[in-house]
Structure 1
């Protein structure tokens, strides 16, 4: 049993987990794959991994790869890496193997924890890796087949892990020195190669502390775990549950496509997802009045949250507080927040979406123009942020780091350029999200916000989602606008007439396209690049 960290008002991610292990050892910490694990169970599994890492690590071991997906091994692997004093790199079996290999090589992981499902990709993954790795496979008694197939690599199976199981019961991670790193998450890069965002324990602890003060989570709560570990919002789910002795509930593959049933069957009290998941639920009749009475908190992040969706969700979860969180990976999970209010929000919203609100108490946000000068209240500009949640930068990429992590005149702190366009609020008003700076359409001297067109398209069609893009691309910006509407069928002539009544001529799309289902990335966000690719292919 670990030493109980000194209890303060808030606890960091690991101290909080260990505190829960001491005070709630028999309570459920994790439900996954149809099995339930107490805090004692989860700690022992994590300790086995931690001891194995400590036995095999070397001076160059900074990060531990976790090649596991929605399994006990995945969650224990994350904890094991952190308890051993290292950071972790989540690797996702749903990603193309080539991308996973790039992430593994770039991060320099020399030890990788692998679950049974992900092992199906292991041979293909290892075939393209030149350096030696240690692979930990807790589900596999006999690793001789892998040893003979890949003699360059080392393998630890269930039998070797069993040898440290007794020691794991007395393992005290508070005695282990730890490195500053918490994790590396890879985001899309403009060159096509993913960027590794390096977050520290101090970054995550700052967020967890701020969130603990805001959300009254208790050991009786049951939190959803809808996000893959390669999405940083998963960190909120894990450590907001585990710092309070609560239970993290991970849906099965079947429950992922029937989230409404999952909310009810799992008895969830805290829901956290991207708005697209709630939109999907609404489309399939899962968001009906009083459907989710047990929910106390309904949290959304990752993309713009429609006001109309929030209103419907509030009726479905009448006892829950709805909050819209905002924050890029580089600012550790979320850095601003807005509480939905049925009476105030419709008036405070812009482009039909819920405001992103105010910065967390420990963070600072400034809205600037293209010259990095603050804009006046009521004007739009790029959001830049600073504070203890600010990442150290992009791993092994000083050029991209210096471009995105900047200094501004008169300030000594480093700020992160979010690339997001927001409206600088007037006194007493919340900040509103307008879209991406790089999604802004420049055409015939006009600067057009796609969101202004998209909200009209949604209003006029009743579709859940619409996307407006500048096309074709010209040396001066765009030659016109193409609108995509997520619907089975579209009366283009009728829609065009109605749009012309609401938008000035320069904002009216020259072409409308309907898609029954928009392409989405691994995090559930609409994939704008994939939509634009359909135009490129046509050209």
Structure 2
């Protein structure tokens, strides 16, 4: 039965628009027919080239044909896809592969070089690398039309579609297996929420190891639309890139807006071709939405939210210039309502149900059954009322219209000299100070307990002046003592603000008051 299969999304696009572009890369355009035939050949090679049909296939590649067709080929082979990044630390990637049971790799040339370091001389690892050199270090899988599949292998809803990794509090990544059933519910819901069609061109800003990349691929492919990767240099003149590539659907982290704004790249009416603009992965500032929509006046903007464990996104708020600004909390756009078919509760600090504010816990068809290692489930997957719930670790507030507002991570609420401090509230106050464009607040241990350190962009402002301005907005106990001006807030590979890097910098380097 193909219906619950994630790859059925691609087959749907193939049936709608076989000769239309499924992928538009810098130098090559690949039609649905071409990608389908490539994936079938590679899937057949995986099945015939391994001693046993692989249960999990690692895709160690960037945003080229190997990465995109590799994901599809692994799915066609009935295996779970494990996206891997060639530039991630070797030990980390090795642990991921071992935990997921990866028994074969699809790699581009860059990934093949990384695989040599990861495998530690294990020349028996089957590797499919169409363009990589065959230097004898691996058991190379040969691709031929003779071994290609005629159609994808069947799967059932409970089979794992992909495995992604999140950061773990134990210091090792936690594997999240998402089933075909999880994705089937998710994308069926999105089909009714959006009007994507075969004329759309989707941006693809996320790394393939980030679950939001699955949104790009399988929303586009389910509609017969095209996917266009966005290179780093595109942000220097985003309106030009959007126009030249014909983008109609944009999806990124909110940090991308700040990146473009710094380059003065959001002129009014500069991106008239965008129909949809979606943001996820971190808190979305109302001021950024206003600036973005001025540049793309014809688009609908949504703030969508969800951890990997709940299949990409599980809530959404559609921005309305008339009503949304009044519903923002700390200058942040609401995350909206929980997807149909799911239940949610808010737990207060004592673990009791709260009607108004607390940790968001969700259960429903998009929820993963648990982590690859059941030991990681403790503290995240909760049993109550005979059901399993996922604890998101996010503090939210339920508003009078039933929507949820994101207040921050549980671990962003800290105690400073007896004050319970929400870091996002301080950041919102900082953005109202003259000269400050954006700000991140982190906590570090000090001689007299926890102290707060601010990193901000914009015009350099004397620390005393910033502190004086904040004291008009915040209680004195919440006012940070340390301020550091930086040119740009650091971003990780998925263009989210790298708070961990800033927290490390605050701990390691002495800061003036």
CA shift, 1:323, in A, is 0.2
Cα distance in structure 2, aligned partners of 1:217 and 1:337? 17
Matched with 2:209 is 230
Is the aligned partner of 1:451 residue 2:451? no
CA shift, 1:363, in A, is 2.2
Equivalent of residue 51 in structure 1, options 18, 37, 44: 44
For residues 52-131 of structure 1, what are the structure 2 equivalents within 5 Å?
52-59=45-52, 61-127=54-120, 130=122
Secondary structure, in 3 states, of the residue corresponding to 2:432? helix
Is the aligned partner of 1:34 residue 2:10? no
Matched with 1:218 is 197
Equivalent of residue 395 in structure 2, options 408, 421, 432: 421
Cα distance in structure 2, aligned partners of 1:423 and 1:473? 31
Is the aligned partner of 1:138 residue 2:163? no
Cα distance in structure 1, aligned partners of 2:508 and 2:231? 36
Are the aligned partners of 2:235 and 2:259 in contact in 1 as well (CA < 8 Å)? no
| Cα pair distance change 1:367/1:290, threshold 3 Å | same
Are the aligned partners of 2:435 and 2:461 in contact in 1 as well (CA < 8 Å)? no
Summarize deviations over 1:238-269 as a string: whole Å, max 9, x none.
Answer: 00001110111113454366544322211111
Cα distance in structure 2, aligned partners of 1:333 and 1:47? 26
For residues 426-505 of structure 1, what are the structure 2 equivalents within 5 Å?
426=400, 428-472=401-445, 478-487=449-458, 489-505=460-476
Are the aligned partners of 1:488 and 1:515 in contact in 2 as well (CA < 8 Å)? no
Are the aligned partners of 1:375 and 1:424 in contact in 2 as well (CA < 8 Å)? no
Are the aligned partners of 2:176 and 2:371 in contact in 1 as well (CA < 8 Å)? yes
Cα distance in structure 1, aligned partners of 2:69 and 2:17? 17
Matched with 2:351 is 372
CA shift, 1:537, in A, is 1.4
Are the aligned partners of 2:419 and 2:478 in contact in 1 as well (CA < 8 Å)? no
CA shift, 1:107, in A, is 1.6
Secondary structure, in 3 states, of the residue corresponding to 2:29? strand
Summarize deviations over 1:281-303 as a string: whole Å, max 9, x none.
Answer: 11101111111111110000000
Is the aligned partner of 1:402 residue 2:378? yes
Secondary structure, in 3 states, of the residue corresponding to 1:484? strand
Which deviates the most, 347-356 or 244-253?
244-253
CA shift, 1:155, in A, is 1.1
RMSD over aligned Cα atoms = 2.2
Runs of 4+ deviating beyond 4 Å: 174-179
For residues 142-161 of structure 1, what are the structure 2 equivalents within 5 Å?
143=134, 145=135, 147=136, 150=137, 153-156=138-141, 160-161=142-143
TM-score for the superposition, normalised by structure 1: 0.90
Cα distance in structure 2, aligned partners of 1:29 and 1:259? 22
Matched with 1:537 is 508
Are the aligned partners of 1:32 and 1:251 in contact in 2 as well (CA < 8 Å)? no
| Cα pair distance change 1:462/1:261, threshold 3 Å | farther
Cα distance in structure 2, aligned partners of 1:174 and 1:92? 26
Cα distance in structure 2, aligned partners of 1:117 and 1:125? 13
Are the aligned partners of 1:206 and 1:389 in contact in 2 as well (CA < 8 Å)? yes
Cα distance in structure 2, aligned partners of 1:444 and 1:462? 28
Matched with 2:318 is 339
Summarize deviations over 1:40-85 as a string: whole Å, max 9, x none.
Answer: 0010111111101111345573210000101011100000000111
Cα distance in structure 2, aligned partners of 1:412 and 1:346? 39
Summarize deviations over 1:397-453 as a string: whole Å, max 9, x none.
Answer: 212113211113xx2221100000111223x24210011001101123322111111
Matched with 2:494 is 523
Alignment size in residue pairs: 510
Unaligned runs of 5+ in 1: none
Secondary structure, in 3 states, of the residue corresponding to 2:59? strand
Cα distance in structure 1, aligned partners of 2:497 and 2:28? 33
Cα distance in structure 2, aligned partners of 1:98 and 1:259? 36
Cα distance in structure 1, aligned partners of 2:113 and 2:366? 36
